[in-house]
Amino acid sequence: MIRMTLAACLLSVVSAGSAQAACNSPYKQGVDWSGCFKERLMLGNRGLVESNLSKAYLSGTSFSKSDMSGSNFSEAELMRVSFNSSILVKANFERAYGSKISFKKADLRKVNMHKAELQRSNFTDANLHLANMLKGDFFRSQFINTNLTGANMQRTNLSRTTFKGSILKGTMLKEAYMYKARLEGVDLSETVGLTQDQIARTCGDDKTKLPAGLTRPEKWACD
């Protein structure tokens, strides 16, 4: 029994040492920093293709102008992280969480944000073509001049978001929660799954274009 206990302790020490060694790995393509604390770092202008940052603590870190295509951020904490002008094609943000993340001008084509909780984030001028945002939480986020063509936002929290100037061709909005979403001047005519009840809770104007069969409410939610 004593031998087993000592063996378990030794294994624990070795495992902890291995994990620490992995977290000290140099910042390079394919790095494995899963579960590591990497906060408040300036890591822009780098190549991090297919890196593993799942469950990592990254708050305050900047990855601006980096190529992180295919990288894994699942369940990572991303408070105030910057991905400005980064390439994140097919990156995985499933169940990632945080707020005030900046994705300005980021290439997020085919990104996976399933069940991600990224409130108050900024997607201005980002490309979210064919992004999977199913059941995500993007409360008070900014989608300004954002390409959301073919994005899946079904059952997503989009309350108090802004969509000024965004492209929503083929965007799936079925059962999305859109309370006071700002849709002034936005073309929704080619979106999929919108209902009259959803529209009644949003904020639009006489320039908002709705899908066939839907009508502007007599009074928008923000009037």
* Domain range 45-212, its CATH number among 4.10.91.20, 2.160.20.80, 1.20.58.60, 1.10.3720.10: 2.160.20.80
Distance between CA 146 and CA 108 in Å, rounded? 10
Instruction: Look at residue 27 in the predicted model and tell me its pLDDT.
Output: 80
Instruction: Look at residue 198 in the predicted model and tell me its pLDDT.
Output: 97
With residue 199 as reference, give the H or E element that holds it.
Answer: helix 196-200
Instruction: Look at residue 25 in the predicted model and tell me its pLDDT.
Output: 86
Query: pTM for this one?
Result: 0.89
For 197, phi then psi, to 5°, come to -65, -40
Q: What are the 10-residue block averages of pLDDT along the chain, 223 residues in total?
A: 44 43 82 95 90 96 96 98 98 98 98 98 98 98 98 98 98 98 98 97 96 94 84
| 22 contacts: CB under 8 Å, gap ≥ 6 | 32, 33, 34, 36
Residue with tokens 């063996």: 7
For 162, phi then psi, to 5°, come to -120, 130
Distance between CA 113 and CA 22 in Å, rounded? 26
Structure tokens given for 139: 């409360």
